[in-house]
């Protein structure tokens, strides 16, 4: 039997605290393709969330950029 991985979702109201940026900054980074895109949680699209794994990857990229290392080296 194949094990299915559950993904933790970070909702919009918690996102700023999770990544340390304001909503407007996050929206701008999404437009530029520099931040993970939200996933719709409802058919209307009003409820959205971000996968914690993708946000952690974004954080690792930021650390790698700060440290001058490759993204694969960050967080290891």
Which residues, listed in sequence order, are joined to residue 39 by a DSSP beta bridge?
49
> 15 in a domain, yes or no?
yes
Q: Which domain holds residue 33?
A: 9-67
User: What's the rounded mean pLDDT across residues 44-64?
Assistant: 94
> 31 in a domain, yes or no?
yes
> 49 in a domain, yes or no?
yes
> 1 in a domain, yes or no?
no
State residue 76's pLDDT score. Answer: 47
> 26 in a domain, yes or no?
yes
User: What's the rounded mean pLDDT across residues 50-57?
Assistant: 96
Q: Where are the beta strands (DSSP E) in 27-66?
A: 39-40, 48-51
- C-alpha distances in Å from residue 23, one per residue of 10, 17, 30, 35: 14, 10, 10, 12
> 72 in a domain, yes or no?
no
Domain count, the chain: 1
User: What's the rounded mean pLDDT across residues 40-44?
Assistant: 94
For residue 71, pLDDT over 90 is answered with no
For residue 4, pLDDT over 50 is answered with yes
> 29 in a domain, yes or no?
yes
> 75 in a domain, yes or no?
no
For residue 75, pLDDT over 70 is answered with no
Rounded to an integer, what distance in angstroms lies between the CA atom of residue 48 and that of residue 64? 28
């Amino acid at each position: 039997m194949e094990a299915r991985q559950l993904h933790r979702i970070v909702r919009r109201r918690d996102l700023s605290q999770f990544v340390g940026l304001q909503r407007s900054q996050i929206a701008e980074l999404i437009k530029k393709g520099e931040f993970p895109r939200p996933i719709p949680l409802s058919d209307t699209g009003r409820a959205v969330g971000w996968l914690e794994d993708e946000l952690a990857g974004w954080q690792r990229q930021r650390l790698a950029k700060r440290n001058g290392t490759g993204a694969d080296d960050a967080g290891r």
